[in-house]
Amino acid sequence: MARENQSIVTQFVFQGLSSQPRTQTILFVAFLFFYLFTVVGNITIIAVIRADCQLQSPMYFFLANLDFLDICFVSSNIPQMLVNLLTRKRTISFSGCAAQMCFSLAFGMTERVLLGVMAYDRYMAICHPLLYTTIISRKVCIHMVMASWITSLLSSMVINSLNLRLPFCGPDILNHFFCKAPAVLALACADTAFTELVIFIFSILIVFIPFLLIITSYAHILSAALKIQSVHVQSKVFSTCGSHLMVVTIFFGTAICIYVNPKSRAPQDRDKVISMFYTIVAAMLNPLIYSLRNMDMQRALRRAMNRSKSFFI
- Could you list the beta-strand ranges (E) of the chain: 11-14, 91-93, 173-174
Specify the 3-state DSSP secondary structure of 92. Answer: strand
Q: What is the pLDDT of residue 309?
A: 61
- Number of compact structural domains in the chain: 1
pLDDT at 270 (0 to 100) = 63
Residue 166 lies in a domain: yes
Among 42-56, 88-102, 142-156, 265-279, the least confident range: 265-279
99 occurs within a structural domain: yes
Q: Is the pLDDT of residue 262 over 60?
A: no
**Quick one: which of 34, 47, 116 has its CA closest to 74?**
34
Report the distance separating Cα 234 and Cα 226, nearest Å.
8
Q: What is the mean pLDDT of residues 168-195?
A: 80
Amino acid of residue 14: F
Residue 86 lies in a domain: yes
pLDDT range class, residue 308, cuts 50, 70, 90: low
Confidence band for 144, pLDDT divided at 50, 70 and 90: very high
Whether 13 is in a domain gets the answer: yes
Of the candidates 49, 48, 45, 65, the one whose C-alpha atom is nearest the C-alpha of residue 57 is 49
Task: Give domain status of residue 165, yes or no.
Answer: yes
pLDDT in tens, 112-128: 889 889 889 988 988 88
Q: Looking at the predicted structure, is the pLDDT value of residue 141 above 90?
A: yes
Tens digits of residue pLDDT in 190-229: 888 888 888 888 777 777 888 888 889 888 888 888 887 7
Identify whether 171 is preceded by a cis peptide bond (ω within 30 of 0): yes
Residue 143 pLDDT: 94
Asked whether the predicted pLDDT for residue 259 surpasses 70, the reply is no
**312, part of any domain:** no
C-alpha to C-alpha distance for 42 and 71, rounded to whole angstroms = 7
Task: Confirm if 159 and 105 have CB atoms less than 8 A apart.
Answer: yes
Contact 283, 73 (CB under 8 A): yes
**Whole-number pLDDT of residue 150:** 92
CATH of the domain at 275: 1.20.1070.10
Question: How far apart are the C-alpha atoms of 156 and 179, rounded to whole Å?
Answer: 13
pLDDT at residue 13, rounded to an integer: 84
Q: Give the pLDDT band of residue 7 (cuts 50, 70, 90).
A: very low
Find the domain containing 79 and state its range.
2-303
Is pLDDT of 6 > 70? Answer: no
Mean of the per-residue pLDDT values of the chain:
80
pTM of the predicted model, to two decimals? 0.83
Give mean pLDDT, residues 287-306. 74
User: What mean pLDDT do residues 272-281 have?
Assistant: 73
Could you tell me what percent of the chain has a pLDDT over 90? 9
In a domain, 311, yes or no: no
Residue 261 lies in a domain: yes
